[in-house]
Amino acid sequence: MRNYPGRRRFRFFFPVFILMALFFFSFVVYWLWNRVLVAVVPVKAVTYWQAMGLLVLSRILLGGFKAGPSGGRSFDGGGPAWREKWRQMSDEDRAKFKNEWRRRSEDRS
């Protein structure tokens, strides 16, 4: 990796940002649970730390902890399968594809 100016600052602030986001979203869960859910459903109020535990538990059970870049890209610089297909198309095939795409989008309008 290249040595960009400010990379050290980024490395320091990234964990701080993650912790701040965790505390903020924990407060949102705490507030919503105690204001909305207690009034609508017969459940007990939770403490701030219980709300944080619920947030982490829901992330583990429902979202998972995915590492790496998002958007279907992998670590090796690859991308979605369509990108490789597009690279292998000739200029004539690309023009044909673009025209067909335009025609279909005009049909919807």
Walking along the chain (109 residues) 10 residues at a time, the average pLDDT comes out as 64 86 94 93 94 91 66 56 85 90 81
Q: What is the pLDDT of residue 78?
A: 57
Cα–Cα dist 29/71, whole Å: 27
Q: What is the pLDDT of residue 68?
A: 54
Residues 47 and 90 in one domain: no
Domains identified in the chain, total number: 2
Q: What is the pLDDT of residue 64?
A: 67
Q: What is the pLDDT of residue 75?
A: 52
Residues 61 and 80 in one domain: no
Residues 59 and 77 in one domain: no
Q: What is the pLDDT of residue 12?
A: 76
Q: What is the DSSP string of 7-74?
A: HHHHHHHHHHHHHHHHHHHHHHHHHHIIIIIHHHSS-----HHHHHHHHHHHIIIII----S-STT--
Residues 60 and 75 in one domain: no
Cα–Cα dist 35/7, whole Å: 41
Cα–Cα dist 52/48, whole Å: 6
**Amino acid letter at 55?**
L
Q: What is the pLDDT of residue 63?
A: 78
Which structural domain range is residue 57 located in?
Answer: 1-65
